[in-house]
Every structure is written in structure tokens, then in C-alpha cells.
Chain A
């Protein structure tokens, strides 16, 4: 029987992959459901085994199944691995995503799974922490804090009970890498958490997944049940959020796990010293933990050999918004923004000129094409007044109203503020009002000065990144696109 691979990823299903899979089953093929390869303009995609290669056909619909199996369909793309979008990538974390059945333990092992955990368990905890340090891995959630230092802090923290917490509250618009990995290769995350548990001396782990990701919740729950004997005595529990963006902030997430309102905690104490239920807690993003199996299996130096400056290894970049080749592109740090948006992303899907990209989600800066020589690197983006965050890049064409986007940034902050600190809770609402006055032409100069002052207060006076970084999109829009606010350049 012919084997056909069709993604069951939430994005693929949203585009009709379930109906496609049913059509292939009816046509007599053996259908294997995988994660998504991560290039959405060729989805719905079916891959047919032909002489050992997986030949892609897409985008196709259920009516195309017979012609695809006969090899006569015009949407034939050739071997998927050879498509330029994939051939240019270096997939370390996403090596298996889109390739294997995500819940097939045998396939996971056959594609290199569990080697990292086996290596880690053959080492002393401090040696595992050293390997993470040597790899140069930094927190992939956005802050970019060196993972090895965090792991070492939790290892050194005294106490009989410690926790590993995986932050899977991927709320940033323009990002979907955590979702794709949890759906497409959940055992990789589970293995990473088990490695972390061994390294820091924790016996129990939580994965906190946002409720907007029902497919990821289901995939990880099943995967945890299947992998439980493999990772024992380490154990994992999946928890589901409840629609609060701020719970992506690590201390708000811990509050939520404890059954409380997701309000940010003041630091110190660091979660590494007093985190979940007051115990030492190692909290990392999905991609940070999912990088650990490769580092342990292949060696820290192989990971560290890739990258740019102090940003080592690969980053799963997510191309989003109005972009032709939207999807997930894992590559070493250091590509320029222009290479990513224009060469890899192919410019806008609408065919109109790119006017702005927002990098790093709702708290990231808007960047005009004139700055597209910026290399994808934590330090370079910080120096340019932005952040790479979780590496989502949202592309806008020239129909965008940047004053509207600045207003939305403040509105989003007002909707999602946890309410604990005043600059964020009140400032965001005043920010919306002030931008409305500027757009209406009301004492424009004074209100621009007021908005900048307000942003300064939010930037330096907020407890967490929600209030603290909302000024990034607002001020970057004001600086690069003054005409959208009714201002002349330099005004």
C-alpha cells in the first residue's frame, strides 16, 4: 500500500488537512499523520513515498487524491527536503517535525530520540549543566538569558523538592514555533524536560500551555502518557491556561499554576530560588528545553559552532502576517532581517511593497525596510531599540496605518495588563487616549511629548515586560512613520 504523509497540525487542519487525509484513505493509501513541515503556502500538503523519497504535492484538496497517487497531478513539488525553503535550513530542534508521526515512540527513537536523555543520565548533574553552558544556549522565550546559568542556579539551590516548569504560553502574535513543536514532536520537549530534571535535581515537571492551543494540549497529554515509563522517575503534568497573555511572564505563570490570578511577582526572589510553591524552580520556554536533547546527544560544541556573536546555535524563525512564504525557518543566528523577509519570505503575499515588520511579538519594535541590514542577533536588536523575542516576524505591506498599530499596542496592553503595577494598568489606557488625540490632530506637539513621557514611565516603572516593552512598538512606529500620526519627519 502507498504511504502518504499528511500533517495534523492545527494550521494544516485549519486549511483542510483532515479532509485531505480522509480522501487518501478512501483512495486506498496508508495515511500517516505528521506535524507540519512549516511552509504554509504549499499546504494542504501530501507527501507520497516514491522510491524512498517523500514527494510533495501542494496545495491540494480532497478531489486531487486520485491524481496524486497516480503521479499525474500538476501540483507535484518534488522531494520536500529539496525545496529551497527547507534545503536552506539547519534544523536541529525541528529535525523531526513534519517528518514523523508525533506520537510514534518507535519513530522517535529511530530518528535519534532519547539519545540526549541517555547521555545526560550517564553524566553527573553538574556535567549536564556544564554542557548547556558550553553550548551557549540562551532562553528562547524572549529574554535571551543564558540557560546554563539558570540551570546552575537551580542545581545549586538547596531543598529536597524542586520543579521544572515549561513555559508553553506562547501568546505573542506572529509566533507559532512552540505550538508546532508540541504538536509535531512532543517527545522532544518531554526529553528536554527530563534532561533538565536530571540536571537540576527536580523530579516533577509542569507544562503550562495556553488554552488557545487545543491541538497542542491534546498532543502533549497523549505524549506524556506514552512517554511516562521512558522518563520515570521524572514525571510531567500538562496544565492549561485560561486566556491571559500575561501568564507568559514567568512569575505570573507560576501564580497561575498555583491556582491564582496570573499577577506578576516582584523579583527577587528569582524563581530559581523560590518559584513554584516557594520551591526552587527551573522555568524555561519550550524551545529552550527542546534544544537540550540535541546538545546532549551531539555535543555542546556542535551547537555552539553555529550562530553569531553571543547568540549561539539556531533559532526557529517564524515568518508571519502578510508574507509569501510564511512558516517556520530554523537557521543559525546572523541572517539579516532583509534576507529573512525578502529572500526567504519572498516579500509580501499581497505583492505590495513591505512597509514594516514587527519582530518579537506585540512588545517588539516596528522596523522599516531601511533597517533591513540588521543581523538576527539578541545584541544587535537590543542596540537598535527592539528585541528578537520569540523570533516571530510579522510582515505588513504599505496599506498599514502605523498609528493604528501603535494604538493597538497600547490597547492590547490595557486588555491584558494583570493590574498589579500602575504604569501598565493605567498607562496603557492613557496611551490609547493620547494616541487618539494625536490622530485627531488635537494639540499634536504637546500630546506627542506626553506620549513619549508616558512611554518612558511605562518602560522604567513597570514590573514586567508587558508594560515595560509596550513602548517599543509605540515609539518605533512614531519614530519611523511620523506621517501616519499626522506629523512631519523629525517633528
Chain B
């Protein structure tokens, strides 16, 4: 790390590391990180709320990210999002009440010729169809 990157420049890597360990970013943890990096709580809060990846609430036990971008739409992605919402019993952007699964939109995984694509607990899935959706539902225990 260069001299400059030790302070504020380290904020994103630090937040990533904290979230990898805790699963989300409680306000108190963000405040501690800000103090250690010698930046204001407001600055750190601004960063946490800007980026889609940073969670201010704990996610479900499983996280399913479905691609909503154009190349997946060209391959039936929009209908797949609706089917997933129905099958998993949770709306896009929400965590199911029992805490079992969080369903999220992602804008492109770079799997653009083999959509609809998804990330299931970090594992990539492509050419998603009804059978694939059932497999995801089974995996997340829905």
C-alpha cells in the first residue's frame, strides 16, 4: 500500500473485510473503522450507503443475486426474476421473513451469452430455467 492509501484510501478494503467477517456493517463497527482510519463518521457512513454491496442489515442465510441487465433480459431474465420472486416467496431487494433467503438484483455478472445468470451464495449459475430455479430453491431450503 502506498503512503496515501493507508488512511482514507483503505476504507473500501477495510469495509469489505469487516463485512466478510460479520456478514453486514453495523453502525458501531463503521464508526470504529472511521476512527481507526482517521476520517469522520459521516464520511464513512456516506461510503457505506453509496455502494450497493455494503449491507446495513444482516442478510438472509442464503443470498441469491439475479441479473437484471439487458443481455439477460434478451434471454428471458425479466420473467425469471418474477418466477424467482414467486418460488422463493420474497420480493427482489428483500429478505424473507424467516431469514432464510435474500433475493437481490445484480447488474451484470459478465455471463452475457448464457443468461439468465445468477450468483447463489457466491457460486455462478447460468442458463437458468425452471429446473435451475427449483435447484436453487432446494439449495436455499425454500
Using a CB–CB cutoff of 8 Å, the interface residues on chain A facing chain B are 10-11, 13-15, 40, 43, 161, 170-176, 178-180, 204, 211-215, 237, 239-245, 256-263, 276-277, 318-323, 326-327, 349, 358, 361-362, 392, 394-397, 400, 405, 408, 412, 415-416, 418
Contacts and interface: CB of A to CB of B under 8 A. Distances in A.
Contacts of A415: 107
Interface in B1-19: 1-2, 4-5, 7-13, 15-16
A257 B75 CA distance: 34
Contact of A15 (B4, B75, B127): B127
Contact of B69 (A40, A173, A258, A263): A173
B70 A242 contact: no
B125 A14 contact: yes
A158 B56 CA distance: 43
A175 B69 CA distance: 11
B124 interface: yes
A321 B74 contact: yes
9 contacts: A40-B114, A171-B108, A204-B2, A212-B108, A214-B122, A241-B51, A258-B9, A321-B74, A416-B107
Interface residues of B, number: 48
Nearest to A358: B70
B52 A395 contact: no
B47 A394 contact: no
Contacts of A349: 75
Interface of B: 1-2, 4-5, 7-13, 15-16, 37, 39, 43, 46-47, 50-54, 69-75, 106-115, 117, 119, 122-127
Contacts of B123: 13
Nearest to A240: B16
Contacts of A259: 7-12, 37, 39, 47
Contacts of A161: 2
A171 B75 CA distance: 18
A244 B74 contact: no
B50 A326 contact: no
Given A171-B108, A244-B51, A259-B11, A40 B113 contact: yes
Given A180-B110, A243-B52, A394-B71, 16 more contacts: A11-B110, A14-B111, A14-B124, A170-B110, A173-B112, A174-B71, A215-B124, A241-B53, A259-B9, A259-B10, A277-B9, A320-B74, A395-B74, A400-B74, A412-B107, A416-B107
Contacts of B73: 405, 408
Given A242-B53, A256-B12, A259-B9, A172 B113 contact: no
A14 B125 CA distance: 4
Contact of A321 (B50, B52, B54, B70): B70
Contacts of B52: 242-244
B110 A10 contact: yes
